[in-house]
Amino acid sequence: MPHSRLVLNVDDTEAARYAKTRTLQRAGYEVIEAETGAAALKLVAERQPGVVVLDVKLPDISGIEVCKRIKHDFPGVLVLQISAAFVASKDRVQGLESGADVYMTQPSDSAELTATVHALYRLREAELELRRVNESLEQRVAERTAELARMNEALRREMQERMRAEAALVQSQKMEAVGQLTGGIAHDFNNLLAAIVGGLNLIERRTREPQVIEITTHALNAAKRGVKLISQLLAFSRTQDLDAHAVDANELIEGMQSLLRQSIGPSVSIATDLMPGAAVVMVDPTQLELAIVNLVINARDALGGSGHITLRTQPDPHHAGGFIDVSVIDDGPGMSEAVKAKAFDPFFTTKPPGQGTGLGLSQVYGMARQLGGEATIESAVGQGTTVRIMLPVAHTPADRPAPDVQVEQRGRNETVLLVEDDVDLRSILTDMLRELGYGVLVASDGAEALTLAGRHAFDLALLDFAMPGMTGAETARELKRLHPRLPILFASGHANTQELAGIGSASKLLRKPFETAELARRLREELGRPLPAS
């Protein structure tokens, strides 16, 4: 970089050189001298003065040529060409075209020389400032460009995250809407199936004809398949009341191995990878078993008859200590993104017509969400599939199933107040109760039930939970006000036990649809126990 106050004075005439040096020194400049063009070029290279006062006529190299070389090698050095011999207009033009910044003729007075050098330095400072501004501007532009690039990348990531969140929200809302729809449909179908199952049970009990019994058995089996489908719909819609309690998922999986091996056949292998110790979770064991069976059968079908399935339990990596994952893993062909996005939708299936209902994964999704957990799918084409059910950890020891106790199934001259709004089901339940040896008071709604309760004695109330007008819960509260110790048994397809908790300890739930034997057992359980002290 050129020296800020250094001037090179180049002149082969000693007197002229001395006069210019003294003038510039008095003006505050540091001055170095050269008598020849070669010496001038050497000093410029070594010291890089800010200004060169250059005589045109030199003994070795023309001042015009020296100027050209200086400007070529050191464009930041300013050149003041000065001459006593070449003073014509064409000489000025030649000097300026060689690169000189100013051309002066001698003799010139000291004030003009000083002012000219001052002007050159101001020019030089202006150029340096402009260069600094340009460099600073380039740096600021580069920094701003980098900042904008970072902001753009952050915005792009935010937009992607927002799109994922919006897609998840739309999917959640869609699932919620479909869940509400399927819940309502499932409840209505439960009433239909309850009437069908009850009617078939009565036919079985009243006939001795083998052909009729065979037809009834087939019809009951079909109805039970319908019950399973409705159970899956209710699990998906989260309107089915789960009987959740502490269950060791490891023990449950180990206990299912024989059933699962029979379900998948000999060409598909199944293994377990269970977390050490117990994997105690809060879950409805029946629903968890159903979920595992559904997932294993789906995996078997995806494998196409050959492959490997693994059942795994492990702490959920994203919720340390709070949840345990139960996973079904296969090494099959995997799912595309499009299939994976719809896999939990009810009635969606990739199986041929007649080979799948599309409710298996929906049941898994609904059960997990209802328990406060989550169900997820990890899959890619050619990389197999993992379906993960995240279940809440139970903080109590796993429950052990109680031994089955045989009870008397027949009534003992008790009377049941039956409240059911569905005409067909009400008729079937009346016949079932009488078949079991109970007297029956029949009401079509809550208001009629309360009228009968004020006029007649009875031992137990069997109530539909979801009724128009006065609901089963409201009817039960009024009955408990009239008869505080009255046992109440609710018959419903999707009642919420939290509502039952506020009605009284004698209120229990019988899930629709049910068979005659289940009704008989539950009635004896409620009527056979001692009444609480009043």
> Rounded distance, CA 441 to CA 449, Å?
9
pLDDT score of 347: 60
pLDDT score of 442: 95
Given a cut of 90, is residue 453 above it in pLDDT? yes
pLDDT score of 184: 58
Where do the structural domains in the chain lie, given as residue ranges? Answer: 6-108, 131-237, 245-392, 415-528
DSSP of 291-351: HHHHHHHHHHHHHTT-EEEEEEEEE-TTSTTTEEEEEEEE-S----HHHHHHTTSTT---S
Nearest alpha carbon to residue 413 among 479, 480, 458, 463: 458
- Tokens 């994203």, located at residue: 318
What is the percentage of the chain residues whose pLDDT exceeds 90? Answer: 26
> Rounded distance, CA 196 to CA 199, Å?
5
Average pLDDT in the 116-129 region? 80
The angle subtended at Cα 491 by Cα 184 and Cα 187, nearest 5°, is 10
- The fold adopted by the segment(s) 6-108 is Rossmann fold (3.40.50)
Asked if domains 6-108 and 245-392 share a fold, the reply is no
Average pLDDT in the 511-520 region? 84
**Are 491 and 464 contacting, i.e. CB atoms less than 8 angstroms apart?**
yes
Name the residue type at position 336. S
pLDDT score of 348: 62
For the domain covering 245-392, report its CATH number: 3.30.565.10
> Rounded distance, CA 83 to CA 16, Å?
11
> Rounded distance, CA 294 to CA 361, Å?
7
Average pLDDT in the 158-182 region? 68
> Rounded distance, CA 34 to CA 178, Å?
97
pLDDT score of 529: 61
Tell which CATH classification among 3.40.50, 3.30.70, 1.10.10, 1.10.287 matches the domain 131-237: 1.10.287
Average pLDDT in the 11-34 region? 90
Q: At residue 269, what are phi and psi to the nearest 5 degrees?
A: -90, 150
pLDDT score of 92: 74
Pairing of strands 323-330, 280-283: unpaired
> Rounded distance, CA 441 to CA 416, Å?
6
Name the residue type at position 404. D
Given a cut of 80, is residue 271 above it in pLDDT? yes
Given a cut of 90, is residue 122 above it in pLDDT? no
Given a cut of 60, is residue 309 above it in pLDDT? yes
**Are 51 and 7 contacting, i.e. CB atoms less than 8 angstroms apart?**
yes
Nearest alpha carbon to residue 85 among 110, 65, 105: 105
Mean pLDDT, all residues of the chain: 81
Structural tokens at position 500: 């039952």
> Rounded distance, CA 458 to CA 480, Å?
13
Min mean pLDDT across 37-46, 312-321, 326-335, 417-426 is at 312-321
Nearest alpha carbon to residue 11 among 27, 24, 29: 24
pLDDT score of 533: 40
DSSP of 371-427: TT-EEEEEE-TTS-EEEEEEEEBPSSPPP-PPPP-----S--S-EEEEE-S-HHHHH
Min mean pLDDT across 79-83, 111-115, 192-196, 254-258 is at 192-196
Q: Which residue has the higher pLDDT, 190 or 380?
A: 380
For the domain covering 415-528, report its CATH number: 3.40.50.2300
> Rounded distance, CA 449 to CA 439, Å?
15
